[in-house]
Structure formats: structure tokens, C-alpha cells
């Protein structure tokens, strides 16, 4: 949520920061603004979409230093006054900020007593006034002094007409990267904002302050200079654009077979019945000793955890517990010296998941990560981990990232299982079936028009149940989440066996059910659940295994998936649910890529 883009160099800053902001629209926002410094300052901010800036886009503004921001409201309503950048009393210091300043009310009261005049309701504005208070001619010194007074999280960029040829940036628990391109520098909250200019990236770490000038970059931590070399990001502009599809979400669903393929590439050892996960090699001895494993994530990543729990318990002989990141840190989990934890996040910047990670590290627990973003906070802070290699995911509702996470979890299951009691024969069988998944997934893509027809058939309904059992119970939760996220209709996921414990009270002809019922160990149980629904005149859409013609006798519509191992069915069964949610929402003309009230990366608690 929220986005930052800044530029300093020899080019005009206005078109660069505006273009960068547009590349961050996917994160979700409700207002925007920018400040460009040249011979004069140019400040513009507005509630609403960046398209409102068309009136200024063509301005021939000479300024070559600029900062900009997309805001997702937390403290203060959605108004022009609350949009960033925020400034000091004299409009000489300008700040854009992601995060939350927890003690802003106390600071604001103190500053008002000292004579400062506030223009907004936001927590961010106190930073501008604190910098003003401490400014003695050097911007970075004033920023460092101001930040010593704040409590909370921040990724911020600051410019000043009183020290005009620099941008000062700082980070604490909110991501910031620096793009390096010869004698020009960019600051951003996401690499997608800078890839049109450079692929050379420096990731700021917590408590680091960066000073960007045309003649160089200085990074400070605890007022001491640090040397950091840029890393090269391995995706390009084309990867972050729609590629001819109507929405990013549809493009990303169509990429799901490639995501599975990229996640497994070079990692499958068929003859050994095992996998090679380079990121785990140097902790493999420690992993042999664990007997207790936590899986922690938020949202869709949490559903990946729930699915992984079934995999790891059945095939790796581990005691596995799953937790929502936002709840975990308020528990008192039972851990011992043989406990490990896996943290799952697409961005690697999910605030609640990072908080849980830091809590476990404080307790000395071996911490592993599954993430998509190289250099993210999670990637740097875990003891070891595996990248999903899913490429940029632009749509707010996560789809392809889940496929990467599930594929990695299946491989980790083999990896840990072979360390324990999994036989060579079973290892070979699972690895062989993982290898087939991309092609099986492509077979599902061929059904997208049929799934579209079914979605449009049901688009008048406003209440849905999604049911599944065992491996596909978490996928029922995911299907319901996707539908509610982007179409704004009520949907709930429930374990099939729980229907008679309450949910059946709501089943009738106005409340359809999506039943995930592949031919597996709980198929007969799922059929019984479907019959319970049909007895109450409920309509049923089934996700079933190819060749199961008998299911048509008891349901209203069927979407087929290819046959695979039971533990791998979630990787296939979730694809039709993503299509269903997409086409359902699109038929209602929803803003599919940027659903209301939501943001891509949840970097505040």
C-alpha cells in the first residue's frame, strides 16, 4: 500500500516521477501528489486517480529534483489536504511517507504549542515540522534528528528548497529501494517504479538513511557511512504490463503454468527422488533435527500455509502448525530447540508476517522464507529461504504468486520427507508428478471460455459457499476470498464436513455452492456434502477430476481438472477458481486490478 517515487539527475523530474507513480497504481491508493524543485518549487496533490494530473503532465517544468506519492488512507480521510507530499510551516520542506507514526498525536500537540501550524489530519505531517524544527542548513542532519523523536514505521523521502540539490530517504520496516543509473538516482517503494530507467537496485535496510545527489550516493547507518553495491533485478518493463489482456489479473492467471514451471526449474532430481533447493543447503543439517514446524502468512499466503500443513504432515512426518501473521505475535507458542518456522509472503514486506518472523528470531527459532522478491525484508532477515521466481504480480488480488508458493511447498515436502522416512519410490513418484504440473495447468487454461460462461450464468447471485476437504479445504477459502475481493459479493469458504454444523442454515436456491471434489481420498465424503446442499435446493458448481461423468448427475455445472496426486490437486483446483472470480467480477464491471479498500502490499499492521 502507498507508493513513493523520487528522482534526482539531469533530466526533468516531473515526467519521471509521474510515470513511476503510474507503475505503482496496482498497490492501491486513493490520492496522490508530487513536488518538483527547480528555480521554483512545483507542488501538486489531489484526491482520486493519477489521471487527474493530465492538466499538468505537459508542463515544461525545468526542475530536476522531485518526490511523489500515492496514498492509501490510514490516518485522516481521503482529501486533497491529506494527500502527500506534506510540508512545514513555510512550505520549504516536503515529505512523502509510507508507514505509521504511532506517537504523532503527542508530537503534534507539542509542535503546535511551539507555534507550528498544521494543514492536514495525517501522522506524516509531524515529520515535516520536526525536520523544520531541527534544520540548521543540512537536510540529512535535520532528518536524522527528527527521526529520533518518532516511534513507528517509515519509508520516506524528503526534499527542501533550503538544501535543494538532494533527496534524503530513510527506512524503518517499510520498503525503499534506490535505482542507480550513472549520474541519476531514483528512490522508490517498489522496483516496478524504476525499471524503465535502470535495473541496478540498492535495497535500503532498516535504520539506513540515504542522501541522493547528482554527483553520488551516500548511505548512513547510525551516522556512519556504509558501502553498498547495486544488485541487478531480473525482470523488465514488459513483464509488468498487460501484454494485450484486459486486466493484469487475467494476464497473471494465464501465467500460472509458467509460474509452476519457473518455480521448479533446475530443482527437480528425478532419479534421486528428491529436489535441490540451494537456499536451504547450508541449514540442511539443522533441518534434519526439526520435529516441530510453524507455517505463517497472511491472506492468500496463509491459505498456502494451510495447504502445506497437509503436505508436510502426511509426507514429511512433522508436527505442523499454521498461523495468521497478524495473530501469531499475540500467542505464546510452544517451541523447543527442534522448532523451525516458514514465513510466506509474495512481497516479502508484509508487516504482520515480518513481525512474526522477528518474534521467532528473538526466540532463536530457525526461520525460513518463501518469497517472490529478491532483496526484500523477509529475504534478508530469514536464516534461509526459497524464491518462488513468479515475476512481478501487479493485480491487487494475488493469483499466480499462490501457485509459486504451493509448488515450493510441495518441493520442500519432498526435501524434508527424504531427510526422514520418505522412500525413494515415493520421492520419485511425487517429483515425477510435480514435473507434469505445468502441462496439466495449461490444459485448464483451455477451459477459460467455459468457466467464463459459468461465471456469467451465476453473476446475479450475491451469496456463495465454497467447500472442500483435506488438501482442498484451504483452496475453498482461497476461492471465496478471491470472489469477495474483486466482485464485492459475500462468499465464505468452509470445510465440507462443517456444513451440518451451521452453514446449511443459509443454503437455499439463492445461495450457490462451489464444491471442490477431485477424485481423491475424501471424494465420497464430498459427494455426501453436495447431496446435503441439493436436498435444500442449493445450486452446485463442482470442480472435479477429468473423466468423472457421474458427478454431472448431482450438480448443476462442472469444471474439470486433470488427474494428479492428491497432495498436488490444490495446485490445479485453484486455477478454475481464479478464473471464476475474475470473469464474475468482470461481468459486473468491477475494477478488477484495483478493488476498493484494498492494497497490494500490506506494509502496516
Domain at 102, CATH number: 3.60.20.10
> Could you confirm whether 2 is annotated as catalytic?
yes
Mean pLDDT of 509-531: 96
Q: For the chain, how many structural domains are there in total?
A: 3
- What pLDDT score was predicted for residue 52? 85
Task: Tell me what the mean pLDDT of segment 309-313 comes to.
Answer: 97
Output the nine-digit C-alpha cell for 308: 502445506
pLDDT the model gives residue 559 = 98
Per-residue confidence (pLDDT) for residue 265, from 0 to 100? 87
Other Cβ atoms within 10 Å of 368 Cβ, number: 24
Beta bridge partners of 225: 220
* Percent of the chain at pLDDT exceeding 70: 96
The more confident residue out of 224 and 169 is 169
Position 478 confidence tier, pLDDT thresholds 50, 70, 90: very high
Query: CA–CA distance from 171 to each of 4, 28, 94, 178 (Å)?
Result: 12, 21, 16, 12
Residue 106 has, within 13 A of its CA and on its CB side, a CA count of: 7
Are 205 and 257 contained in the same domain?
Answer: no
406 touches 384 (CB < 8 A): no
Can you tell me the distance from the alpha carbon of 593 to that of 242, in angstroms, rounded to the nearest whole number? 11
Does any domain span residue 230?
yes
Please report the pLDDT score of residue 600 as a whole number: 59
How far is residue 321 from each of residues 295, 327, 376, measured CA to CA in Å? 6, 13, 25
pLDDT at 375: 76
The residue with greater pLDDT, 47 or 239, is 47
Task: Say if 471 falls within a structural domain.
Answer: yes
Q: Which pLDDT score, from 0 to 100, does residue 235 have? A: 63
Tell me: do 23 and 114 sit in the same domain: yes
pLDDT digit string, tens, across residues 103-124: 999 999 999 999 999 999 999 9
| CA–centroid distance for 251 within its chain | 17
- Interval 552-559 mean pLDDT: 97
Average pLDDT over residues 256-278: 93
Q: Which residues pair with 324 in a beta bridge?
A: 297
What beta strand segments (E) does 38-99 contain? 41-47, 65-71, 86-87, 93-98
Nearest alpha carbon to residue 380 among 392, 367, 389: 367
Residue 379 within a domain: yes
Which residue among 108, 133, 482, 600 is the active-site one?
A: 600
Where does the pLDDT of residue 429 fall: very low under 50, low under 70, confident under 90, or very high at 90 and above?
very high
Is-catalytic flag, 35? no
pLDDT of residue 523: 96
- Could you count the other beta carbons within 10 Å of the beta carbon of residue 53? 21
Q: Where do we find the cell 495473530?
A: 327
Kindly indicate the confidence band of residue 143, based on its pLDDT and cuts at 50, 70 and 90: very high
Both 106 and 212 in one domain: the answer is: yes
| Domain match, 278 and 344 both | yes
Q: In this structure, what C-alpha cell is assigned to residue 91? A: 512550505
Answer with the one of 424, 446, 468 that is the final residue of a domain.
446
Instruction: Choose the weakest-confidence range: 1-5, 255-259, 357-361, 566-570.
Output: 1-5
Q: Which of 60-64, 109-113, 484-488, 573-577 has the lowest mean pLDDT?
A: 60-64
Q: Using alpha carbons, select from 544, 480, 472 the residue that is nearest to residue 512.
A: 480
pLDDT in tens, 211-255: 999 999 999 998 889 999 998 877 666 555 666 788 999 999 999
- Residue 601 included in any domain: no
Q: Are 401 and 514 in the same domain? A: no
Q: Give CA–CA dist 217/227, Å, rounded.
A: 10
Closest to 526 in 3D by CA, of 593, 604, 596, 467? 467
DSSP string, 139-188: HHHHHHHHHTT--B-EEEEEEETTS-S-EEEEEEBS--EEEEETTEEEEE
Tell me the longest C-alpha to C-alpha distance in the chain: 79
Distance set, CA 168 to CA 165, 184, 219, 414, 550 (Å): 10, 14, 10, 47, 66
Distance of CA 26 to the CA centre of its chain: 11
Give Cα 567 distance to the centre of its chain.
25
Tell me: do 270 and 382 sit in the same domain. yes
Of 127-136, 348-357, 403-412, the range with the lowest mean pLDDT is 348-357
Least confident range from 35-44, 479-488, 558-567: namely: 35-44
What's the whole-number average pLDDT of the chain?
A: 92
Beta bridge partners of residue 28, listed in sequence order: none
Q: Angle at the Cα of 594 (from 591 to 598), degrees rounded to 5?
A: 125
In a domain, 45, yes or no: yes
Query: What pLDDT score does 27 carry?
Result: 63
Q: What is the pLDDT of residue 374?
A: 75
- Mean pLDDT value across residues 405-429: 97
Q: Does residue 118 have a cis bond before it (omega within 30 degrees)?
A: no
Per the CB < 8 A criterion, the answer to whether 573 and 543 are in contact is yes
Report if pTM > 0.75: no
Lowest mean pLDDT segment, chosen from 208-217, 229-238, 410-419, 452-461: 229-238
Dist CA 67 CA 61 (whole Å): 14
Residue 532 · residue 538 · CB < 8 Å: no
Show which of 446, 464, 497 is a domain's final residue: 446
Q: Confirm whether 101 is domain-assigned.
A: yes
Residues 326 and 455 occupy one common structural domain? no
C-alpha to C-alpha distance for 375 and 177, rounded to whole angstroms: 9
Based on the fold, state whether residues 340 and 429 are members of the same structural domain.
Answer: yes
Which of 396, 417, 446 marks a domain boundary? 446
Residues 451, 441, single domain; the answer is: no
pLDDT classification of 601: cutoffs 50, 70, 90: low
Does 460 lie in the same domain as 419?
Answer: no
What is the C-alpha to C-alpha distance for residues 116 and 473, in angstroms, rounded to an integer? Answer: 55
**Interstrand relation of 339-345 and 366-371 (parallel, antiparallel or unpaired):** parallel
Within a domain: 604: no
Among residues 2, 87, 305, 511, the one annotated as catalytic is 2
Give tens-digit pLDDT for 71-98.
977 778 889 999 999 999 999 999 999 9
- The strands making up 292-297's β-sheet, listed across from edge to edge, are 319-324, 292-297, 339-345, 366-371, 384-387
The CA distances from residue 2 to 172, 336, 476, in Å, are 15, 39, 30
pLDDT at 55: 76
In DSSP notation, 355-420 reads HHHHHHHHTT-EEEEEES-TT-HHHHHSSEEEE-------SSS--HHHHHHHHHHHHHHHHHHHHT
Claim to verify: residue 553 and residue 410 sit in the same structural domain: no
Most confident range (mean pLDDT) of 361-375, 382-396, 433-447 is: 433-447
Angstrom distances, CA of residue 34 to CA of 42, 119, 127, 549:
8, 17, 17, 59
When mean pLDDT is compared across 11-25, 412-426, 552-566, 572-586, the lowest value belongs to: 11-25
State yes or no: pLDDT of 151 exceeds 80. yes
DSSP 8-state secondary structure symbol assigned to residue 191 = G
Beta-strand relationship, 224-226 and 216-221:
antiparallel
Q: Is residue 598 a part of any domain in this protein?
A: no
Query: Which residue segment(s) compose the domain that 143 sits in?
Result: 3-239
Whether the CB-CB separation of 287 and 340 falls below 8 Å is answered with yes
Task: Tell me how far apart the alpha carbons of residues 297 and 239 are, in angstroms, rounded to a whole number.
Answer: 26
Does residue 427 surpass a pLDDT of 60?
A: yes
Task: Check whether residue 389 and residue 453 sit in a common domain.
Answer: no
CATH of the domain at 587: 3.40.50.10490
Judge whether residue 191 has pLDDT over 70. yes
pLDDT of residue 599: 62
What pLDDT sits at residue 605? 54
Amino acid at each position: 500500500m502507498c507508493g513513493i517515487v523520487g528522482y534526482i539527475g539531469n533530466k526533468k523530474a516531473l515526467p519521471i516521477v509521474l510515470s513511476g507513480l503510474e507503475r505503482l497504481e496496482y498497490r492501491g491508493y486513493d490520492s496522490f501528489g508530487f513536488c518538483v524543485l527547480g528555480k521554483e518549487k512545483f507542488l501538486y496533490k489531489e484526491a482520486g486517480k493519477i489521471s487527474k494530473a493530465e492538466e499538468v503532465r505537459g508542463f515544461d517544468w525545468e526542475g530536476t529534483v522531485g518526490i511523489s506519492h500515492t496514498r492509501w488512507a490510514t490516518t485522516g480521510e481521503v482529501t486533497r489536504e491529506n494527500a502527500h507530499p506534506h510540508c512545514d510551516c513555510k512550505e520549504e520542506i516536503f515529505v512523502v511517507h509510507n508507514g505509521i507514526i504511532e506517537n504523532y498525536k503527542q508530537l503534534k500537540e507539542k509542535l503546535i504549542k511551539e507555534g507550528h501550524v498544521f494543514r492536514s489530519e495525517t501522522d506524516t505531517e509531524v515529520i515535516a515540522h520536526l525536520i523544520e524544527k531541527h534544520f540548521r542548513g543540512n537536510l540529512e542532519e535535520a532528518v536524522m534528528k527528527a527521526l529520533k523523536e518518532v516511534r513507528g514505521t517509515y519509508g520516506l523521502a524528503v526534499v527542501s528548497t533550503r538544501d535543494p540539490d538532494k533527496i534524503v530517504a530513510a527506512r524503518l520496516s517499510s520498503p525503499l529501494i534506490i535505482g542507480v543509473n550513472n549520474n541519476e538516482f531514483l528512490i522508490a517503494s517498489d522496483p516496478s517504479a524504476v525499471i524503465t530507467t535502470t535495473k541496478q537496485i540498492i535495497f535500503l535496510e532498516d535504520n539506513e538513511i540515504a542522501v541522493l545527489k547528482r554527483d553520488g550516493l551516500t548511505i548512513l547507518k547510525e551516522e556512519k557511512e556504509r558501502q553498498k553495491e547495486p544488485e541487478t533485478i531480473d525482470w523488465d518493463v514488459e513483464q509488468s504490463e498487460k501484454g494485450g489482456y484486459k486486466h493484469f489479473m487475467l494476464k497473471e492467471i494465464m501465467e500460472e503454468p509458467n509460474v509452476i514451471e519457473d518455480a521448479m526449474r533446475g530443482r527437480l532430481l528425478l532419479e534421486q527422488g528428491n529436489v535441490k533447493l540451494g537456499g536451504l543447503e547450508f541449514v540442511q543439517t539443522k533441518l534434519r533435527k526439526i520435529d516441530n514446524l510453524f507455517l505463517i502468512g497472511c491472506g492468500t499466503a496463509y491459505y498456502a500455509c494451510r495447504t502445506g500443513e497437509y503436505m508436510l504432515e502426511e509426507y514429511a512426518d512433522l508436527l505442523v502448525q499454521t498461523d495468521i501473521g497478524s495473530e501469531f505475535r499475540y500467542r505464546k507458542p510452544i517451541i523447543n530447540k527442534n522448532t523451525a518456522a516458514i514465513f510466506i509472503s509474495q512481497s516479502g514486506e508484509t508487516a504482520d508476517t515480518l513481525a512474526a518472523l522477528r518474534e521467532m528470531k528473538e526466540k532463536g527459532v530457525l526461520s525460513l522464507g518463501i518469497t517472490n522478491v529478491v532483496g526484500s525484508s523477509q529475504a534478508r532477515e530469514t536464516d534461509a529461504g526459497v524464491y518462488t521466481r513468479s515475476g512481478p504480480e501487479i493485480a491487487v488480488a494475488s493469483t499466480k504468486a499462490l501457485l509459486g508458493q504451493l509448488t515450493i511447498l510441495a518441493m520442500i515436502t519432498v526435501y524434508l520427507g527424504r531427510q526422514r522416512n520418505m522412500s525413494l519410490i515415493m520421492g520419485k513418484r511425487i517429483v515425477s508428478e510435480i514435473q507434469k504440473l505445468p502441462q496439466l495447468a495449461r490444459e485448464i487454461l483451455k477451459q477459460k471460455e467455459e468457466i467464463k460462461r459459468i461465471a456469467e450464468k451465476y453473476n446475479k447471485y450475491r451469496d456463495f459457499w465454497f467447500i472442500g476437504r483435506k488438501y482442498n479445504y484451504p483452496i475453498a477459502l482461497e476461492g471465496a476470498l478471491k470472489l469477495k475481493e474483486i466482485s464485492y459479493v459475500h462468499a465464505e469458504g468452509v470445510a465440507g464436513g462443517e456444513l451440518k454444523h451451521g452453514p446449511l442454515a443459509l443454503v437455499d436456491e439463492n445461495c450457490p455452492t462451489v464444491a471442490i471434489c477431485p477424485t481423491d481420498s475424501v471424494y465420497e465424503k464430498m459427494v455426501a456434502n453436495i447431496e446435503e446442499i441439493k436436498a435444500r435446493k442449493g445450486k452446485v458448481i463442482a470442480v472435479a477430476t477429468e473423466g468423472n461423468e457421474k458427478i454431472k448427475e448431482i450438480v448443476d455445472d462442472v469444471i474439470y481438472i486433470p488427474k494428479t496426486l492428491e497432495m498436488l490437486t490444490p495446485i490445479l483446483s485453484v486455477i478454475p477458481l481464479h478464473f471464476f472470480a475474475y470473469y464474475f467480477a468482470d461481468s459486473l464491471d468491477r475494477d478488477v486490478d484495483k478493488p476498493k479498500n484494498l492494497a497490494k502490499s500490506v506494509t502496516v499492521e
